[in-house]
Amino acid sequence: MPAGLKQSSATVSIGFSLNETAANTFSQLEVDLNLSPLDREVFVVQAINLDPESPEGLAGTDTAVTCALTTTRQTTVGNLGDGNCLAVANQVIRGAGYADSGVGFQQQSLETPPSSMEYIGIIATSDFFVQVKGSGNTTAKGVSGKLYGYRATATADIFAALVQTEVLSA
């Protein structure tokens, strides 16, 4: 258990699904955790599973579906270099220069932390955000996934620090 936190629920899973509003268009979903700021409630993230749809295999064209889960609202799909990004997943087909559908690649951040880690992130505000964006596809793509973790109550100083860090990382 992280210092300054007291677990107040069992592990829960929160499912989500998001589709692009149009092909190759950045789209974002806000998921409310219904945390109580008056009770200094936070969500301790234990694991995240992102499952992007496959990009289209088009001859001579690179296609991709990129997605991320972040603690703050974004204007582009986040990456692990961002302080507020907890997970990313990418599916890419390298088709440029190929007469057929090309070669597929997949990249993904850890779904479950190594056993030496207690958690992969703490969400101190009441929501998290999921982003998706396709590239080179002829139809809209999407992502579905689950966030696993538990609710906890933080001490006043820890809660203030977590909220400030999360808001300033936006």
- Least confident span in 2-11, 18-27, 56-65: 56-65
Q: Is the model more confident about 101 or about 141?
A: 141
Tens of pLDDT, residues 30-68? 999 999 999 999 999 999 999 999 998 887 888 999 999
CA distance 75 to 28: 9
User: What is the domain count for the chain?
Assistant: 1
CA distance 111 to 93: 22
User: Domain with 59 in it: what CATH number?
Assistant: 2.60.120
pLDDT score of 116: 66
Return the pLDDT at 87. Answer: 93
Tens digit of pLDDT for each residue in 77-98?
988 888 899 999 998 887 766 6
Entry pTM: 0.87
DSSP 63-116: EEEEEEEESS--SS---TTSTTEEEEEEEEEE-TT-SSS-EEEEEE--SS--TT
Host domain of residue 100:
5-168
Of the pLDDT bands very low, low, confident and very high (cuts 50, 70, 90), residue 103 is low
